[in-house]
Structure 1
Amino acid sequence: MKQLILVRHGKSSWEYSVNDKDRPLLQRGINDGHLVAGAFKERDIIPDAIFSSPAIRAMHTCLIFLRQLHFPYGQFEINNELYDFSGEYVLQFIKNLDNSLNTVMIFGHNHAFTHLANSLGSRHIDNVPTSGLVQMGFDTDNWNTITKGTTLNTIFPKHLK
């Protein structure tokens, strides 16, 4: 069985005149990231691998989770394919994952994550919110063959406040 955990980056700031990849998190994004990471930690799931989009807001959200999960900083990877808004490149990334990895966590962006949560999961989600987490399971041993799986868990900040 393979498990995929999608985490949308926290709420970002539009205050600064920077390119999209360089936008930082708002304080709310930081707070919500800690809230969701803490709730996820209680489930005692440690991913085999963690990957992040190269956008600052996604990497910062990822670092919050790494710290909460006590995941070694040197063992997560940044991948340009995860800076995707349609889901096409993220899906290709997922299908090319090493089959020795059973539980993978990915940090990235909407609309890609809402699209993937709905096309791969079993529960319709109108919108994966900022700092939102969707965990899905697939009855396969090969990432390349994943199709429709089961939505195992969602953790959204508004449900924790």
Structure 2
Amino acid sequence: MKELYILRHAQKEIQNDYEYDYDISLSKKGFEDAKKIGKLLKQKEVLPDLIVSSPAIRARQTAQIVAQEIGYDKNIMFNEVIYQAFLNELIESITYTYDSVNSLLIVGHNPALTALALTFGNLKEELQMGNAVKIEFNCNSWIDIDKSNSNFVELIKI
């Protein structure tokens, strides 16, 4: 069994005309929301084997705050593919995960994360900033994940 947690970064600052999207930080509310979702995940005893995040500032900040809240003490992997990824690129990145990882948390951006949750989890709404989805796969290898062996477990809202 493989567990996938899909977490959209928390609320970001409003983008200025001169600011590159990649460099936008979390807002004050975003920092608070990242702590909230981290606390909710800890209450649910979520402790992934691996956290993979987009390296964009707001995703990186969200991943680091959540890692601290849940007691994750390993390195966070920052994967450039997750930033501005298409659905197929996200799926491909997941399938490259070592099979020794049974629980994976991905922190990234829409629209790809919502598309991922729709594809594997039948999510019926857009994944909002700071919210997470848990999906289980009835397989032993990430390369075998598929809609046919996926099970939507829950939407975790702040």
TM-score by length of 1: 0.91
**Do the aligned partners of 2:15 and 2:21 also contact (CA within 8 Å) in 1?**
no
**Do the aligned partners of 1:99 and 1:143 also contact (CA within 8 Å) in 2?**
yes
Q: Aligned to 1:6, what secondary structure does the other structure show?
A: strand
Q: Residues of 2 paired with 1:93 and 1:125: CA distance?
A: 24
Moved more, 6-15 or 138-147: 6-15
Q: Residues of 2 paired with 1:78 and 1:124: CA distance?
A: 25
**Do the aligned partners of 2:134 and 2:154 also contact (CA within 8 Å) in 1?**
yes
**Do the aligned partners of 1:87 and 1:116 also contact (CA within 8 Å) in 2?**
yes
**Do the aligned partners of 2:22 and 2:57 also contact (CA within 8 Å) in 1?**
yes
Aligned CA-pair RMSD: 1.2
**Do the aligned partners of 1:114 and 1:125 also contact (CA within 8 Å) in 2?**
no
- Read off the aligned partner of 1:57 and give its amino acid letter: R
Moved more, 85-94 or 124-133: 85-94
Q: Residues of 2 paired with 1:87 and 1:26: CA distance?
A: 27
- Read off the aligned partner of 1:7 and give its amino acid letter: L
Q: Aligned to 2:62, what secondary structure does the other structure show?
A: helix
Aligned residues: 155
Q: Residues of 1 paired with 2:96 and 2:46: CA distance?
A: 22
- Read off the aligned partner of 1:81 and give its amino acid letter: V
Unaligned ranges ≥5, structure 2: none
Unaligned ranges ≥5, structure 1: none
TM-score by length of 2: 0.93
